[in-house]
């Protein structure tokens, strides 16, 4: 028979959403059980997502900068790449963070159970242990928070079982540098991993169904990125892979669409990065009555409640945007609601960042969204070619700061950046959006000179009308 434990709160999944929810529950005095199938806490983000990808991008960026500095008078020798050491560096970063989470859950007396949970009814799950074979634990709870995340989408025409067909987890292992790599999909994950492999020496092709990369972002921002990456990548827009056939000497891919090459192209590896699917259909939700759609997504209200009052859901499993910081904030709301607080998940903005070369970052409304919503808006852009700091740092040619204002109220409604460190610069825009800042608030804030964030102040001044004669 199964061992039995009981908690006031059960959290399923220890990704950013799940561990944040469990820690907040414990901090609020609730007796908390956290179930995670893998040995380490941290979910996709820490183990096979945000963190390892950024460790590899850091390595790639150092190489990029070393190459770039040549025209400023410094010439380095061709870098020697030691893949196992790169992989070890990446794993070391991940381990520091996941070990930290284990320590924090012990400190808070969160009971961690290692195994796979499935619902028995609306007050209990059965956990199939992944640490001890054959062991089962029944966990009963008053309230449950489902934070079971998502995984790479699979397509029926792709032979995923071939070891040369990668998902992002495979790509993050950096076991080898394929001579020719095809990335399927023009979203953030594909672009980030493509950036890493190109720098490590792969020749990288992208096949993208639409007309632009990162389809949710404004065209002017993405255009600047694409222009500065024409030499780095071969991008086939408005094109699809139509057959993928693994053979001894490579994977043969035939394309269809506007920019399809004739005949098959042979690749040494293919990274499939065509979106992620929520895990809602793998939890036996029918046993507890929680509704889940065909895509595995669980619908929740602004207190993260499902249709079953004592069961909540947060993070990737409740749908887009599938981002770690969104999961964390939803986790906090669910925990606080369970503890009896009157709180809601109603953010004014959820920031997005692509850690590419250059970076792309945006928050609040895009121009497309403002247009679609019928807002009377005005855009103010500041090109980095006019920034002293960008020029001095040699990053002026592919940088731009864009702010979107409500023309009537002068309120900031959105912002986007493309350029070196755009992700770090986005922080100011996020705060300004959350604080309902108007153009004057931003323009009258004294920004240090010379900085890249000065460009945010300048864009606001441009809207404000105090600058008319840009170089």
| Nearer residue to ligand FAD within complex by CB, 130 or 303 | 130
| Nearer residue to ligand FAD within complex by CB, 137 or 396 | 137
Shortest Å distance, C-beta 447 to ligand FAD? 26
| Nearer residue to ligand FAD within complex by CB, 185 or 315 | 315
Shortest Å distance, C-beta 198 to ligand FAD? 16
DSSP single-letter state for residue 26: H
Q: Is the dihedral of CA 293, 297, 302, 306 positive or negative?
A: positive
Token reading at 308: 């079953």
| Nearer residue to ligand FAD within complex by CB, 36 or 438 | 36
| Nearer residue to ligand FAD within complex by CB, 43 or 186 | 43
74 in a labelled binding site: no
The CA-atom distances, in angstroms, between 402 and each of 261, 383, 408, 453, 460 are 36, 9, 18, 12, 9
Shortest Å distance, C-beta 87 to ligand FAD? 15
191 in a labelled binding site: yes
Separation of alpha carbons 98 and 94, rounded Å: 6
Catalytic residue from among 332, 449, 453, 464: 449
User: Which segments of 124-268 are extended strands (E)?
Assistant: 124-129, 136-146, 150-152, 165-166, 180-184, 203-207, 233-236, 239-247, 250-257, 265-267
Separation of alpha carbons 459 and 456, rounded Å: 5
Note whether 330 and 322 are within 8 A (CB).
no
Shortest Å distance, C-beta 110 to ligand FAD? 14
13 in a labelled binding site: no
Shortest Å distance, C-beta 145 to ligand FAD? 10
DSSP single-letter state for residue 298: B
The CA-atom distances, in angstroms, between 114 and each of 35, 38, 131, 305, 390 are 6, 7, 6, 25, 49
> Which residues here bind ligand FAD, judged by CB under 6 A?
12-18, 35-38, 43-45, 49-50, 53, 116-117, 147-150, 168, 189, 279, 283, 315-317, 322-325, 327
181 in a labelled binding site: no
DSSP single-letter state for residue 317: G
410 noted as active-site residue: no
423 in a labelled binding site: no
316 in a labelled binding site: yes
Which of the residues are catalytic? 449
- The binding site consists of 54, 185-192, 275, 316, 322-325
Binding residues for FAD: 54, 316, 322-325
């Amino acid at each position: 028979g199964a061992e039995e434990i009981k908690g006031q709160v059960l959290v399923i999944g220890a990704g950013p959403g799940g561990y944040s929810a469990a820690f907040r529950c414990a901090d609020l005095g609730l007796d908390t059980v956290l179930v995670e199938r893998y040995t380490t806490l941290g979910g996709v983000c820490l183990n096979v997502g945000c963190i390892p990808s950024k460790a590899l991008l850091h390595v790639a960026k150092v190489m990029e900068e070393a190459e770039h500095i040549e025209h400023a008078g410094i010439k380095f020798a061709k870098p020697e790449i030691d893949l196992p050491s790169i992989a070890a560096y990446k794993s070391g970063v991940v381990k520091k963070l996941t070990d930290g989470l284990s320590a924090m859950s012990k400190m808070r007396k969160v009971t961690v159970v290692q195994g796979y949970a499935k619902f028995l009814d609306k007050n209990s799950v059965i956990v199939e242990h992944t640490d001890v074979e054959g062991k089962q634990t029944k966990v009963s709870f008053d309230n449950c928070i489902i934070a079971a995340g998502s995984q790479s989408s699979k397509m029926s025409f792709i032979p995923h079982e071939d070891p040369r067909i990668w998902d992002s987890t495979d790509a993050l292992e950096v076991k080898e540098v394929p001579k020719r790599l095809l990335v399927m999909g023009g979203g953030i994950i594909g672009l980030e991993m493509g950036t890493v492999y190109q720098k490590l020496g792969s020749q990288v092709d992208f096949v993208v169904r639409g007309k632009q990369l990162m389809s949710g972002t404004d065209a002017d921002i993405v255009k600047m990125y694409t222009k500065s990456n024409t030499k780095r990548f071969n991008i086939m827009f408005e094109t699809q892979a139509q057959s993928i056939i693994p053979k001894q000497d490579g994977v043969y891919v035939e394309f269809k669409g506007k920019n399809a090459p004739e005949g098959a192209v042979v690749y040494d590896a293919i990274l499939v990065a065509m979106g992620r699917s929520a895990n809602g259909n793998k939890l036996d939700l029918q046993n507890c009555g929680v509704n889940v759609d065909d895509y595995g997504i669980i619908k929740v209200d602004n207190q993260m409640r499902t249709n079953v009052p004592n069961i909540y859901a947060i993070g990737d499993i409740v749908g887009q945007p599938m981002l770690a910081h969104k999961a964390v904030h939803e986790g906090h709301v669910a925990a606080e609601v369970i503890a009896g607080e009157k709180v809601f998940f109603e953010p004014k903005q959820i920031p997005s960042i692509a850690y590419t070369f250059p970076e792309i970052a945006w928050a609040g409304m895009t121009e497309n969204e403002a247009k679609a919503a019928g807002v009377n808006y005005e855009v103010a852009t500041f090109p980095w070619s006019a920034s002293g700091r960008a020029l001095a740092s040699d990053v002026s040619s592919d940088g731009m700061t864009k702010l979107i204002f409500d023309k009537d109220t002068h309120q900031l409604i959105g912002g986007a950046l493309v350029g070196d460190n755009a992700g770090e610069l986005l922080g100011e825009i996020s705060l300004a959006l959350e604080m309902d800042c108007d153009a004057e608030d931003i323009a009258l804030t004294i920004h240090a000179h010379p900085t890249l964030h000065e460009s945010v102040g300048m864009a606001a001044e441009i809207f404000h009308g105090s600058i008319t004669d840009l170089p």
